[in-house]
Amino acid sequence: MAKGIALHWRLIPRRYTLLGTECRSCGEKFFPPRQLCPNCRRGAKIKEFKFSGNGEIYSYTIVHSPPKGFEFMKPYVLAVIKLDEGPLLTAQIVDSKPEDIEIGRKVEMVFRKVIADGDSGIIRYAYKFRVKRE
């Protein structure tokens, strides 16, 4: 259990702020973070980059048969999000009806509870996305 808690705390910056990296040589941005740019290779100068959390739905599916432990969430929308800065990531769409979801809709990042580890365990939060209010 202690190992899991330590890992959880180390990953907080990435989960709470969409922290990735950017290659200062070519400008490409990466999420999750990378230590090496596939374009520039070893000549790359990689730096930390904070994404805005804004993007659009690139693709999606509605999950009706979730994995064990997540049955309480069904049905839910799982989407590939194209961030405004370029990278694609997978995330759940919340605060929306499945019929309101469509490719190209603008979304924004929000924080939501993912799961709690047992009755007295740590509550894990992570980024999810919701359709932007117009």
- pLDDT, tens digit, 9 for 90 and up, residues 64-117: 998 887 788 888 999 999 999 999 999 999 998 878 899 999 999 998 776 666
Alpha helices, DSSP H only, in the chain? 2-10, 12-17
Rounded to two decimals, the pTM is 0.80
Residue 64's pLDDT is what? Answer: 92
pLDDT greater than 80 at residue 16: no
* pLDDT, mean of residues 37-66: 91
Give the alpha-carbon dihedral of 41, 46, 50, 56, to 10 degrees: -10
Distance CA 5, CA 122 (A): 8
Look at residue 14 and tell me whether its pLDDT is greater than 70.
Answer: no
Domains, the chain, ordered by start: 53-131 (2.40.50)
